[in-house]
Amino acid sequence: MQPKAVSPPDALAPVDTRVRFSLRGVFIVIAAIGAWLAAVAPWFREWTGEQRLAFSLVCGSTALGAISTTVFRSVLRIRAERRAGVVRFRLSQTITRFALFFGVGTGLFTLALSTVLAFMQAIYPQTRAHGGAWIWNMLAYQNGASLALAGLGVWWKTTHLEFCDDGILCGFVIQPWSNVRGYRWGGDPHRLILQWRRWGVVTVRVNASDKPAIEQYLKMRLAANSRPQS
């Protein structure tokens, strides 16, 4: 029986991996914000106007950090997508599951920390004395940025590698094919180890059905790297 022929790289079907904010994800974020507001509402109603203002400023700083980081990272991702060209393969790194749990844990911890900062500003007036409120708001802004990074990492699965025509895309960063020194297969036949000039090695999982096409694609790219530049 003849082995199944592998399609040439130029004939590979493009993979649509562009970052999108799904409607389901938006509903999850809205539901989480609503649950958080419902939890803090009993305390908020009992506070004075000054306490409410202090609490709101910390929450606003957190939201500003999250929104600005999300916008900035989205711009970086869109630019990287345009530079990378057509996506041919999308592979998950061996640390993907750990990174997912780490991202969720980081996001929950950061949200809890921001809530504690806001409550401390509202309950303890001494934290607002002598310009201390600015320090707390700066910490809240940093917490918001960390929360956005953790959320985007989980939402966009930034631990995946995407083999594109003009480079390898990982999250918000694109590495040109010239930075790939070589590759080899690990003890697990479905584990591909890429050798980088700067990153050392990166290990990804490969489906058995995609292995021949991916190997042919990598051989073509590495052969192009070895050609003398005109």
In tens, the pLDDT along 153-166 reads: 766 655 678 888 88
Tell whether 167 is covered by a domain. no
In the predicted structure, residue 7 carries a pLDDT above the cut 50: no
In this prediction, residue 162 carries a pLDDT of 86
In this prediction, residue 97 carries a pLDDT of 63
In this structure, are strands 87-92 and 160-164 parallel, antiparallel, or unpaired?
antiparallel
Sign of CA dihedral 90, 91, 93, 98: positive
In this prediction, residue 10 carries a pLDDT of 44
* pLDDT, average across residues 15-23: 56
* pLDDT, average across residues 127-139: 73
Tell me how many degrees the CA angle 84-99-192 measures, rounded to the nearest 5.
60
Residue found by looking up tokens 């022929």 in the block: 5
Tell whether 130 is covered by a domain. yes
Residue found by looking up tokens 């004939």 in the block: 11
Tell whether 221 is covered by a domain. no
Tell whether 189 is covered by a domain. no
In the predicted structure, residue 64 carries a pLDDT above the cut 90: yes
Tell whether 67 is covered by a domain. yes
Q: Which domain holds residue 111?
A: 22-85+96-157
DSSP assignment, residue 171? T
- Percentage of residues of the chain with pLDDT beyond 70: 77
* pLDDT, average across residues 122-134: 71
- Percentage of residues of the chain with pLDDT beyond 90: 3
Tell whether 165 is covered by a domain. no
In the predicted structure, residue 6 carries a pLDDT above the cut 50: no
* pLDDT, average across residues 64-84: 89
In this prediction, residue 82 carries a pLDDT of 86
In this prediction, residue 68 carries a pLDDT of 94
pLDDT-derived band at 210 (thresholds 50, 70, 90) equals confident
Burial 210-221 (b: 16+ CB within 10 A, else e): eeebbeebbeeb
pLDDT-derived band at 191 (thresholds 50, 70, 90) equals confident
Assign residue 48 a region (left: φ > 0; alpha: ψ between -120 and 50; beta: otherwise). Answer: beta
Tell whether 203 is covered by a domain. no
Total domains in the chain come to 1
In the predicted structure, residue 93 carries a pLDDT above the cut 80: no
In this prediction, residue 157 carries a pLDDT of 58
Q: How far apart are the first and last CA of the chain?
A: 43
In this prediction, residue 3 carries a pLDDT of 37
In this prediction, residue 72 carries a pLDDT of 92
In this prediction, residue 20 carries a pLDDT of 56
In this prediction, residue 5 carries a pLDDT of 37
Mean pLDDT of the chain: 77
Tell whether 177 is covered by a domain. no
